[in-house]
Structure 1
Amino acid sequence: MRYIDLTHTITESMPVYPGTEKPLLEKLEIDGYRETLFHMFSHTGTHMDAPYHVFRDGRKLEDYSIEEFTGKAAVIDIPRGTRTIEPDMLTPAEGFGFILLRTGWGEKWGRDEYFSGFPVLSLKAAEYLAGLGLKGIGFDCISADEVGMNELPVHRILLGSGMLIIENLACLEMLPAEVDFTALPLKYTDSDGCSVRAFASY
């Protein structure tokens, strides 16, 4: 069995969604032991969105069972240069718990161009996926919607179906077409989202 870490390391200099404060990791040494005081937004780095992120009455992460954070995943290649992902690009998604969209955009992590021009689902594609009974969908880019799209229409369709969204995945280029996928958030109250440790095995 081979395990691949799909998680970006949280650092104070890491890329964050435009307008969001970067994380602060305050190193403390008290009576001979060390701790770190974290100050960061719940959607920092490789993270998971819950329906509560956009719906006041949506499910929160603490409402999900542990089994809903893991399952078989199809890794779907999106052709380079694609701006809008259409349903016919997503047919391998049927029969899986998760899909991971490998767009190649993760190669731009750490550069300004990471934040614009990445592929996004058309509304028809989002509706198609919402009807498949998926546990979740993962992206190797900053968001399921274009940056600055305040209405978050793709988020609303996907999260409205009950599925989870995992954004800023790393190292998807190392995966075969089918893997076992896991993304584990912290368990905290009223959780709209959370940074995760995501990994795949095959």
Structure 2
Amino acid sequence: MKRLWDISPPVDAGSPVFPGDAPFEQAWGAVIGPGCPVNVSRLTLSPHTGAHADAPLHYDSAGLPIGAVDLSPYLGICRVIHAIDCGPLIEPRHVAHAMGIGLPPRVLVRTYTRAPAGWDPALAAYSPELVERLADAGVRLIGIDTASIDPANSKTLDSHQVIRRRDLRVLENLVLDEVAEGDYELIALPLKLLTADASPVRAILREL
């Protein structure tokens, strides 16, 4: 069996969300007991909870919802690159050591030594210049172990606008604490939510 790495954070009532976003809640509509053979719960959550894929609709009012996007970017060879403690923006110089020949069409960047348990207002984000550089190199999907590819206080979402213009896909809130630099198979398929601006994913890496 090939080794698997689960790169999705746990999702429960303690999951951090962007300030103002819907927190995770679970309520029980039915519980096992006399006359009821099953437990059935009801979930309330933002589609940006935990590891998730943003849809173009998230940053473009005319963009596709997540249930209409092509799935191929979310499945295939990826490269994990470390830019740990790089500061507020991941710049091309932080990842240049891993941008050599054979760069696959998916790149995940690790910025934390250890992912925080709560909300991080000082999260590291992609610089727009790096996103442009990756798109020029043929990358179709970028991922990060923080809650956003843009700074948490950004109102212009410059890196999201680059992926809109260059038609890239994005994964956020990954957990890469135990993942060494190198190439892996990524499997991180979003749900077929036909009107949603994002979808939770169960993201895993598999050794090649």
Give the structure-1-normalised TM-score: 0.89
Aligned to 1:14: 15
Alignment partner of 1:156: what SS? helix
- The structure-2 alpha-carbon separation of the partners of 1:124 and 1:67, relative to structure 1 and needing over 3 Å to count, comes to closer
Alignment of 1:61-76 (within 5 A): 61-76=66-81
Letter matched to residue 110 of structure 1: A
Contact 1:61 1:192 in 2 (8 A): yes
Give the structure-2-normalised TM-score: 0.86
Separation in 2, partners of 1:162, 1:34: 42
Alignment partner of 1:45: what SS? coil
The offset of 1:133, in angstroms, is 3.0
Q: In the TM superposition, what whole-angstrom CA distance separates every residue of 1:33-76 from its partner, at most 9, and x where no partner exists? A: 11121111111111111211111222332223332321111111
Separation in 1, partners of 2:184, 2:177: 11
Contact 1:127 1:157 in 2 (8 A): yes
Aligned to 1:110: 117
The offset of 1:176, in angstroms, is 4.2
Separation in 1, partners of 2:26, 2:51: 17
**Are 1:57 and 2:62 matched, yes or no?**
yes
Separation in 2, partners of 1:42, 1:109: 20
Aligned to 2:104: 96
Separation in 2, partners of 1:191, 1:134: 24
The offset of 1:172, in angstroms, is 4.2
Separation in 2, partners of 1:13, 1:185: 22
Alignment partner of 1:173: what SS? coil
> How many residues in Structure 1 have an aligned counterpart in Structure 2?
199
**Are 1:44 and 2:49 matched, yes or no?**
yes
Alignment partner of 2:204: what SS? strand
Percentage of pairs with the same residue: 25
Alignment of 1:1-202 (within 5 A): 1-29=2-30, 31-91=36-96, 92-93=98-99, 95-104=103-112, 107-111=114-118, 114-202=119-207
Contact 1:51 1:160 in 2 (8 A): no
The offset of 1:155, in angstroms, is 1.0
Alignment partner of 2:39: what SS? strand
- The structure-2 alpha-carbon separation of the partners of 1:60 and 1:21, relative to structure 1 and needing over 3 Å to count, comes to closer
Runs of 5+ consecutive residues of structure 2 not aligned to the other structure: none
Runs of 5+ consecutive residues of structure 1 not aligned to the other structure: none
Separation in 2, partners of 1:103, 1:174: 12
